[in-house]
Structures are given as structure tokens and as C-alpha cells.
């Protein structure tokens, strides 16, 4: 929400607690100077993600799966390291769990879910073996 407000040139309401940050500085030419945080979280329903330094962990509850990527060596997220980097997986999972425990609950929880293939557009047909998550809406 803070990103949308900043893009529109609007000010956030004073009487509503908004859980989030303005991400527009990340689009700047020198994004590293514009973004002082080392850790960034986002989620949609039971699909949660943390980026911590050069590492990114994505966790889905439906189906139960984790994807761990080292973005400095794999910026296009082609090699899931969840099985080969258990220490890093546990470290980032702890960050996600701590964040979830302190996060503001959604005002409007999702009422439905749709299976969505990973790394495909909705126009591409699903094929046996494709990875997928249930995306809440």
C-alpha cells in the first residue's frame, strides 16, 4: 500500500495502521543506496517470501514446498537450493516465522484459491511435472 500511495503522490491515512513500505526507491538507478534494509518480506495468504541479503526463500503451504535461491549466483531463480542448503533454509524460515508472528492480520482474508503454475503465464497450458502453488484470492 505505501508503494501505491507514493506512486499516486498521496499521503497515507493517519487513522489506519499500514503494514508495509514504499518500494519505489528500488526502481532508482542506484537502488542499493536507496534501500537501506537487508531483509524484505511479502506474502499472499499462505504463500510467503523473504529476501535477506542475496538469499530468497519462498514458502507455500499448498502444496507444502520451499524454494531457496542465492540471487547473486542465480538471479533468474533456476536452481532450488532448499535440499542442499539446510542451514540457510532454517535461517530464512526463522525470519519468516518471526515476521508472521508479528504481522498485521489481513482485513479481508482470501475466500478462494486457484492453482497457478510456477514460471508460466496463465495462458500457457499446465503440463504434468509443472510446479504449482495455490494462489489465494
Domains and CATH numbers, the chain: 1-35 (no CATH), 37-108 (3.30.1120.10)
Calpha distance 9→27 (Å, rounded): 16
| Alpha-carbon separation of residue 128 from 117, 131, 132 (angstroms) | 11, 9, 11
Is residue 57 within a helix (H) or strand (E), and if so which, with residue range?
strand 55-61
Buried b (16+ CB within 10 A) or exposed e, 88-110: bbeebbebbeeeeeeeeeeeeee
The pTM score is: 0.77
In tens digits, the chain (137 residues) has pLDDT values of 888 898 999 988 888 877 777 888 777 766 566 566 789 898 888 889 999 999 999 999 989 999 999 999 999 999 999 999 999 999 999 999 999 898 877 778 888 888 888 888 889 998 999 988 888 88
Amino acid at each position: 500500500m505505501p508503494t501505491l500511495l507514493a506512486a499516486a503522490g498521496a499521503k497515507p491515512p493517519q487513522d489506519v495502521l499500514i503494514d508495509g513500505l514504499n518500494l519505489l526507491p528500488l526502481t532508482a538507478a542506484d537502488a542499493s543506496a536507496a534501500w537501506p534494509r537487508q531483509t524484505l518480506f511479502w506474502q499472499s495468504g499462505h504463500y510467503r517470501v523473504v529476501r535477506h541479503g542475496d538469499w530468497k526463500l519462498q514458502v507455500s503451504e499448498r502444496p507444502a514446498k520451499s524454494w531457496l535461491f542465492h540471487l547473486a549466483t542465480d538471479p533468474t531463480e533456476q536452481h532450488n537450493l532448499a535440499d542442499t542448503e539446510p542451514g540457510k533454509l532454517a535461517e530464512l524460515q526463522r525470519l519468516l516465522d518471526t515476521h508472521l508472528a508479528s504481522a498485521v492480520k489481513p482485513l479481508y482474508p482470501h475466500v478462494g484459491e486457484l492453482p497457478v503454475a510456477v514460471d508460466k503465464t496463465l495462458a500457457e497450458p499446465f503440463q504434468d511435472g509443472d510446479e504449482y502453488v495455490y494462489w489465494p484470492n
